[in-house]
C-alpha cells in the first residue's frame, strides 16, 4: 500500500495548521531567525518504523530537510537514530511535534502488527486489519498495518460486501431465501465485489456457503468451532476468524486452519512508540 504524494501533502498541511495556527510563538521569542541546526529523531525502545514519508513532508513544508537513516518498516533498537533533520532551527522545532505524532502513531501500529504476524509465522493464516480506525486517518493506519506485515482488508463500505449480523437479521425477517437472493443480486449488479458473510454458528456457516459467499467471517467462535468450520467449508470459501483476538491467543487460532485472522486492536488499541527529537548543540 503506497501513500500518494498529494495525500501526504494534504494531511501534513492540515496537521501543521492544527498545531501551528497563527505561529509558533515560543520559538519566535527564543530562537534567532537566522540560526541553523541539526537534529536527530531517536528510538527510545525497539520498534518497527512507519511514517517516514510524512515526517519528511512536515519538515519540507517548513523549509528544513529530513534524511532517513533507516528504512520504512525496519525494526530499530533503543537509542538508534531514525533520521537527521537539517535547516533553520525554528523550522526543526516548529515541526517537531507534528512529525513525531505521525511517526509515533504509525510506528506503534506497525510494531503491534509485526508482533501478530511473527506469532503466526509458519501457518497459512494472514493478519487482517479492520475499519476500527481513527476517523480521517484510516488510510494512514492501514498503511502502517501493511508496513508491519499485515494484510489490508476493505478500505471502507464501498470496496467489498460484508453482510453482518444486523444485515442478516433484516434478511431473515424476509424469509429463508432472502440471503441467497441478496447475494445473487450483488453478483448481477456488482460482480467485481467480493461477498463476505458473517457467521455466529456452524448453521450460519452452512447458509453462507449455500448462498455463495466468497469469504465467511467466523465471529467469536471457539477453537473447536473454528476447526469444525474449516472442515465443513472444505475450501469452498475463505474463512476469517474474528473477535477479541490477542497476541496470546492468535497462534492457536491460526493453527485451526483459517485463512485470515482480523484484529481490530491493530488500529484501535496500538500504543504510540517512544521516539524523541534531539537538537544537536
Residues 48 and 162 in one domain: no
Question: What are 63-93's pLDDT values in tens digits?
Answer: 999 999 999 999 999 999 999 999 999 999 9
**Per-residue confidence (pLDDT) for residue 2, from 0 to 100:** 86
Would you give the distance in Å from CA 98 to the centre of its chain? 19
Active site residue 238: no
211-239: average pLDDT: 98
Using CA atoms, how far apart are residues 144 and 152, in angstroms rounded to an integer? Answer: 10
39-48: average pLDDT: 98
Q: CA torsion sign, 39 to 43 to 49 to 50?
A: negative
Residues 202 and 166 in one domain: yes
DSSP 160-174: SEEE-HHHHHHHHTT
36-48: average pLDDT: 98
Cell reading at 226: 473454528
Residues 181 and 232 in one domain: yes
Helix (H, G, I), strand (E, B) or coil at 126: strand
| 24, 96, 129, 198: the active-site residue | 198
Question: What are 169-180's pLDDT values in tens digits?
Answer: 999 999 999 999
Residues 137 and 261 in one domain: yes
Active site residue 219: yes
% of residues, the chain, pLDDT over 70: 100
Residues 129 and 243 in one domain: yes
Using CA atoms, how far apart are residues 202 and 220, in angstroms rounded to an integer? Answer: 12
∠ CA(268), CA(272), CA(274), 5° rounding? 170
Range of the domain at 42: 5-117+270-279
Q: CA torsion sign, 137 to 143 to 149 to 155?
A: positive
Using CA atoms, how far apart are residues 255 and 244, in angstroms rounded to an integer? Answer: 17
| 81, 131, 132, 236: the active-site residue | 132
pTM for the full predicted model: 0.96
**Which of 118, 120, 148, 181 lies closest to 270 in space, CA to CA?**
148
Residues 78 and 171 in one domain: no
Residues 84 and 182 in one domain: no
Q: What is the DSSP letter of 141?
A: H
**Per-residue confidence (pLDDT) for residue 281, from 0 to 100:** 87
| 19, 74, 200, 219: the active-site residue | 219
Q: In DSSP terms, which residues pair with 76 in a beta bridge?
A: 47
**Per-residue confidence (pLDDT) for residue 98, from 0 to 100:** 98
| 97, 131, 138, 227: the active-site residue | 97
CATH of the domain at 29: 3.90.1170.20
Residues 113 and 142 in one domain: no
% of residues, the chain, pLDDT over 90: 99
Residues 160 and 250 in one domain: yes
Active site residue 56: no
Residues 23 and 69 in one domain: yes
- Could you identify the residue written with the cell 528544513? 64
Cβ–Cβ < 8 Å for 275, 98: no
Residues 46 and 145 in one domain: no
CATH of the domain at 161: 3.20.20.70
46-51: average pLDDT: 98
233-249: average pLDDT: 97
Average confidence score pLDDT of the chain: 97
**Per-residue confidence (pLDDT) for residue 1, from 0 to 100:** 78
Q: In DSSP terms, which residues pair with 261 in a beta bridge?
A: 127, 241
**Which of 224, 229, 222 lies closest to 244 in space, CA to CA?**
222
- Checking if the pLDDT of 233 tops 90, the result is yes
| 35, 164, 174, 246: the active-site residue | 164
Q: In DSSP terms, which residues pair with 151 in a beta bridge?
A: 128
Q: In the chain, how many domains are there?
A: 2
What band does 130 get if pLDDT is binned at 50, 70 and 90? very high
Active site residue 164: yes
Contacts with 156 (C-beta within 8 Å, 6 or more apart), sequence order: 131, 138
222-249: average pLDDT: 97
- Checking if the pLDDT of 138 tops 90, the result is yes
Amino acid at each position: 500500500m503506497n501513500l500518494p504524494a498529494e495525500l501526504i501533502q494534504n494531511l501534513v498541511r492540515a496537521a501543521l495548521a492544527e498545531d501551528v495556527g497563527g505561529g509558533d510563538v515560543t520559538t519566535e521569542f527564543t530562537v534567532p531567525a537566522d540560526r541553523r541546526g541539526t537534529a536527530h529523531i531517536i528510538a527510545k525502545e525497539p520498534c518497527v518504523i512507519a511514517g517516514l514519508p510524512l515526517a519528511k513532508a512536515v519538515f519540507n513544508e517548513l523549509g528544513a530537510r529530513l534524511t532517513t537513516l533507516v528504512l520504512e518498516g525496519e525494526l530499530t533498537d533503543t537509542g538508534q537514530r531514525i533520521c537527521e533533520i537539517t535547516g533553520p532551527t525554528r523550522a526543526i522545532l516548529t515541526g517537531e511535534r507534528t512529525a513525531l505524532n505521525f511517526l509515533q502513531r504509525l510506528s506503534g501500529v506497525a510494531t503491534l502488527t509485526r508482533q501478530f504476524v511473527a506469532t503466526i509465522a509458519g501457518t497459512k493464516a494472514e493478519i487482517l486489519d479492520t475499519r476500527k480506525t481513527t476517523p480521517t486517518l484510516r488510510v494512514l493506519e492501514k498503511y502502517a498495518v501493511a508496513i508491519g506485515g499485515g494484510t489490508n482488508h476493505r478500505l471502507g463500505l464501498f470496496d467489498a460486501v460484508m453482510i453482518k449480523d444486523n444485515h442478516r437479521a433484516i434478511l431473515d425477517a424476509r424469509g429463508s431465501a432472502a440471503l441467497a437472493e441478496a447475494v445473487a443480486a450483488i453478483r448481477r449488479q456488482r460482480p467485481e465485489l467480493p461477498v463476505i458473510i458473517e457467521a455466529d454458528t456452524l448453521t450460519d456457516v452452512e447458509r453462507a456457503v449455500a448462498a455463495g459467499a466468497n469469504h465467511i467471517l467466523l465471529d467469536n467462535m471457539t477453537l473447536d468451532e473454528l476447526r469444525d468450520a474449516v472442515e465443513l467449508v472444505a475450501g469452498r470459501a475463505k474463512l476469517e476468524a474474528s473477535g477479541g483476538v490477542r497476541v496470546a491467543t492468535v497462534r492457536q487460532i491460526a493453527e485451526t486452519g483459517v485463512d485470515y485472522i482480523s484484529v481490530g486492536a491493530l488500529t484501535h488499541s496500538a500504543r504510540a512508540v517512544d521516539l524523541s527529537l534531539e537538537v544537536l548543540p
